[in-house]
Structure 1
Amino acid sequence: MTVSASMTRGIASFAHQGRRRPRTVDVLIALSWVLLSSFSVAAIPGSEVVAPGVSVLLVAAGLVFFRRSRPVLTFAISFVATLPLALFDPTLGSLAVAYSVFAIAVYDVPRRAWQCASLSAGVLLAAALFSPFGFLPANDRALGNGIAGVVTYVVTGFLTLLVALLWGQNSGSRKRYVDGLVERAHHLEREHDQQVQLAVLAERSRIARDVHDIVAHSLSVIVRLNDGADAVLEREPLKAREAIGQVGGVARSALGEMRRVISVLESSPQSTSLSAGASYEDLERLVEVYRGVGLPVSLTVNGRTPSQTGVQMTIFRVVQEALTNVLRHSEAPSLVGVSVESDSDVVVTVRSDGHIHNESSGDSVGRGLVGMRERAALYGGTLAAGPDEEGSWIVRLVLPGAGA
């Protein structure tokens, strides 16, 4: 039991070293081939056979270095090269075949290894039987010994090939299994890298949308407040000062939101810092900002608060962008209605009765509309923007199932 365990550990260690240093293993295999075959070549009668025989063995051994990339070609050349020596000693041929079919079973397909082994075994058996130097002698008296030699050769050769085939098939199966695991690991790694890249792109797009919404909203309000302050500066300096104070408040609020957007880059993916200041409950504060710059906004909220913070932020940003567009592109609206209905679905409607500038009408209102549609698509929703039959400009967001 101890010897068997030690042998198993030795084989496993050799296989491990073989995977780490394949060329070293090839050299050892080539040397073992030459060493084992040299005894048989030296035993062949006639010194004129020894030198060519050793040369043939060296050439065949050199082919071992191609057994990984061209196992079938290595088998064919080495088998043909050693076949003349097999006429003198058939065991030389069977040894060459055993080395080669092992390589085919490991580095090619087992079926081809069995085919090559069967073909070469038939040829070597014929050489042993019918060669003038084979096991069957010319006189009848030595016939018994010749038959015994043939039987011995057939049995040992068959066992040698069988061991080589089974060992090679087992090693090949293990190699293909390991190669498959490695390939799958590489595939998963590439897939992970692609997912990371997609996540980075999605994060950049999300941050770009947030930055656009914050900057567009804040600058639009600041411009309107500044224009209002400039218009009443001489007549009503107190109102002008109040407007200037509101400019500072809007700027500070925008700065805080920008800090929250930037901080997400240093936060964990589960961080919800982006939703701070841009949630469902902040809609009233948002509407008050636009009322402060003279936009007649009404807010109606019905239903329960959506459970997902991302949905809440989407609602907030869409309302914010829609009101910003009204502030920038609508001419003297008398009423801007914001309606939020949250049941199983979430439906947000922003309606302005003011006339929209021609250059801003239609579906191509710019980056803001694109950003709103991207936000809606993240939750399987839709966003439509355009005039209705009465001439009012309507932005309508629908998020199916987002109200649960």
Structure 2
Amino acid sequence: MWQRHPRLVDVLVALTWILLATPSLLVARSVPTFGWPPLVVFVVVVLLVAACLVVFRRRRPVLAFVITFVATLPLIALAPDLLSLAVSFCVFAIAVHDSARRAWIAVGAATVVTVAVWVTYLFVDPPFLMSPPEGSRVGTAFTYAVTSLLVLLVAVFWGQSLGNRKRYIEGLLDHARHLERERDQQAQLAALAERSRIARDVHDIVSHSLSVIVRLSDGAEAVFETEPRLAREAIGQLGGVARSSLTEMRRVMGMLESTPGSASSQLGTGFDDIPRLVEVYRGIGLPVELTLKGEAPSQSGVQVAVFRVIQEALTNALRHASAPNLVEVLVDSGDDVTVIVRNDGAPSRARLGDDPVGRGLVGMRERAALYGGTLTAGPEDDGRWAVRLMLPGERRS
């Protein structure tokens, strides 16, 4: 209840304090010379102001302390034990909701002012303070001053203890919220990276398969009347390419339900599959010379990147070359993994058209950057078009 309904607790505390303080003020043994009605009005106003400040002390505890202390200061001599409770409530609130340092400053200020009031009470005897019996002035002042100080000390120590615990819990909650936000951001980044990775694979598969299918279908149509046997072979290869692409697409879609490492190893797109890829392009009339040097990298992701870059480069050579010119593919997996795909024919606008958003080149560069490598594509000095991929490999001692 105390934590679920803090405002209700504050109202109950304020009402209890008013009920306890009011009778003590009304039965005071001596009354100021200006009469009962003004005194009663003054006391009621001060008590109501102090009560309101007690109710709202959680939001602005320092301001509540200042106003409450100033308002109740003239009544210290009338009911010091009860009126000091209002100030103690505010000191407690400062220690809990603000800081322990400000709470101790408030205690010091209240102590100094209270001592000054009691000194005035001892030596000046102002008319607005009640007069104790003869011989008990010093004892009364000392007792009330010590009592007020003890109440303030109890309030500040108790409030400091609860405040430290409260701030510690808030710090833990803030840290937990920060970790949760960071986790969500990392999850979003991971999701974006996964989407980009899958988009690259889908692009490579679709671009490769459709380019091969279009070339085979064009060839089959061209020789359908004159060479039916060749047309049937081309149509048979069409089915094989389509089935292979469908299998790869299913594997890529399976990456959505698997971990990155396991997905890469299941794609069937490693170093051992590069010769098979080259044979597909040779089978549709693209002359390709393949040179493999060194051992396959241990990272399956690097093998996939190399395979996809070669696949995209051969697809571009097939799509954009005006004639089936020689394509050289060099793969050197020494200390660094180097891939060079050269095309003897200059690129041209094929009837299939270029990729309107340059997704293929962007995807190749993203794959290279993913493993700390670089990729360049452009004409060489001798006029040949070249795609160069460099990936940092595992250093061997």
- Correspondent of 2:195 among 201, 204, 219: 204
2:3 equivalent to 1:19: yes
Q: Residue 172 of structure 2 aligns to which amino acid in structure 1?
A: L
2:150 equivalent to 1:166: no
Change (3 A) 1:175 1:118: same
CA–CA distance in 1 between the matches of 2:274 and 2:117?
96
SS in 1 for 2:382: coil
Name the counterpart of 1:345.
Answer: 336
2:379 equivalent to 1:387: yes
Contact 2:318 2:324 survives alignment (8 Å)? no
- The offset of 1:241, in angstroms, is 0.5
CA–CA distance in 1 between the matches of 2:249 and 2:211?
16
Name the counterpart of 1:124.
Answer: 114
Name the counterpart of 1:330.
Answer: 321
Name the counterpart of 1:101.
Answer: 91
Which segment drifts farther, 32-41 or 346-355? 32-41
Contact 1:85 1:92 survives alignment (8 Å)? no
Higher helix share: 1
SS in 2 for 1:395: strand
- The offset of 1:403, in angstroms, is 7.3
- The offset of 1:127, in angstroms, is 2.1
| Structure 2 unaligned blocks of 5 or more | none
SS in 2 for 1:68: coil
CA–CA distance in 2 between the matches of 1:338 and 1:281?
15
Contact 2:61 2:97 survives alignment (8 Å)? yes
- The offset of 1:401, in angstroms, is 2.7
Q: Residue 80 of structure 1 aligns to which amino acid in structure 2?
A: V
- The offset of 1:66, in angstroms, is 1.5
Change (3 A) 1:269 1:276: closer
2:311 equivalent to 1:320: yes
2:108 equivalent to 1:115: no
Name the counterpart of 1:82.
Answer: 72
SS in 1 for 2:332: strand
Change (3 A) 1:320 1:120: same
Contact 1:225 1:247 survives alignment (8 Å)? yes
CA–CA distance in 2 between the matches of 1:69 and 1:270?
53
| Structure 1 unaligned blocks of 5 or more | 1-16
Contact 1:98 1:160 survives alignment (8 Å)? yes
- The offset of 1:393, in angstroms, is 1.0
Contact 1:336 1:353 survives alignment (8 Å)? yes
Name the counterpart of 2:253.
Answer: 262
- The offset of 1:189, in angstroms, is 1.1
CA–CA distance in 1 between the matches of 2:392 and 2:93?
62
Aligned pairs for 1:3-402 (under 5 A) are: 17-45=1-29, 46=31, 48=37, 49=39, 52-131=42-121, 132=126, 134=129, 142-143=134-135, 145-272=136-263, 275-357=266-348, 366-401=358-393
- The offset of 1:251, in angstroms, is 0.7
Name the counterpart of 1:7.
Answer: none
Residue correspondences, number: 383
Contact 1:136 1:147 survives alignment (8 Å)? no
- TM-score, length of structure 1 as denominator length: 0.87
SS in 1 for 2:24: helix
CA–CA distance in 1 between the matches of 2:229 and 2:395?
45
SS in 2 for 1:354: coil
- The offset of 1:246, in angstroms, is 0.4
% identical aligned pairs: 60
SS in 1 for 2:3: helix
CA–CA distance in 1 between the matches of 2:287 and 2:108?
94
Which segment drifts farther, 166-175 or 205-214? 166-175
- The offset of 1:136, in angstroms, is 7.7
Q: Residue 44 of structure 1 aligns to which amino acid in structure 2?
A: A
| CA displacement 1:276-300 (0-9 Å, x = unmatched) | 2212211111111001111111222
- TM-score, length of structure 2 as denominator length: 0.89
